[in-house]
Amino acid sequence: MRAPASDLPIVLAAVGVRAGTQDILRDVSLVFQPGAPTAILGPNGAGKSTLIRVAAGLLQPSLGSVTWGGLSAKSLQRRAIVFQRPVMLRRSVAGNLAFALAAAGCPRAHCAAAVERLLARVSLGALHDRPARRLSGGEQQRLALARALAREPEILFLDEPTNNLDPAATKAVEAIIRDADASGIKVVMATHDLGQARRLCGDVVFLANGAVVETAGAADFFSRPRTEKAAAFLRGDIVE
């Protein structure tokens, strides 16, 4: 099984996701291009996590279509995702990484060296043998990022990567995201931390109530939102 040359651009065409009688996503058409990180902004319940799961290929939309680099291939090979609450396997820190590497098809002979390299990349080398479930929230998030990077992704999806983290842990996670971006990985991240989107992202998808309200470059979005809803969201009003 050969990976396609590139999974980018990701094109969502008129995507809808329905759960029972409720529309989680409605008529979402978007293109994710190579380049600076994309922030998916919006209030809670806007459909940010669902959008990420659809774009990552983990969730089949009820309507519309998704293509990666022009193909509708479902293989996850070039994509990785870190969930809002990553689940640590009941193994050591290194064990978690070794499993992710093996699942990604890393040859056994290269595995040990790759584990050390990834741990260094997220500054967890000292916690090598620690049970992963005993790590702090920030450390778990960094390990989850390392597991995702183990897949050597072309696109990295992050769902609220610094939710509930203290400033120091947030800073560490953002450094890893910057590093991933600098190494050429396309980052797509859901966040409701506007400051974080400002700090990290090049463009913004603003979602409300399951629909895309506005897409714009980050600088434009934050200084001159084109829609009333986005302006209200940036002011801190409750947007439904």
Partner 1 sequence: MSGFHTAMELVLQGDASLYAIVRLSLLVSLSAVVIAALVGFPFGAWLALTRFPGRDAVIIVLNACMGLPPVVIGLAVFLLLSRSGPLGSWGLLFTPQAMVIAEAILVAPIVAALARQTIEDLWLEYRAELEAMGATPLRRVGALLWDARLSLLTVLLAGFGRAAAEVGAVMIVGGNIDGFTRTMTTAIALETSKGDLPLAMGLGAVLIAIVVAINGVVWGMRSYGERKAG
Query: Which residues are near partner 1 by CB under 8 A?
Result: 56, 58, 75-77, 80-81, 83, 86-92, 95, 99-100, 102-104, 131-134, 147, 151
CB-nearer residue toward partner 1: 11 or 135:
135
Q: How far is the CB of 153 from partner 1 (least distance, A)?
A: 11
CB-nearer residue toward partner 1: 68 or 221:
68
B/e letters for 48-68, b = 16+ CB within 10 Å, e = fewer, are bbbbbbbbbbebebeebebeb
Q: How far is CA 110 from CA 77, 127, 152, in A?
A: 18, 20, 14
CB-nearer residue toward partner 1: 1 or 182:
1
CB-nearer residue toward partner 1: 53 or 229:
53
Q: How far is the CB of 220 from partner 1 (least distance, A)?
A: 32
Q: How far is the CB of 165 from partner 1 (least distance, A)?
A: 19
Q: How far is the CB of 130 from partner 1 (least distance, A)?
A: 8
Rounded-to-integer distance, Cα 207 and Cα 202, Å:
16
Nearest CA-CA partner of 161 in 171, 205, 152: 171
What are the start-end ranges of the H helices in the chain? 48-56, 93-103, 108-121, 137-149, 167-182, 194-200, 218-223, 228-235
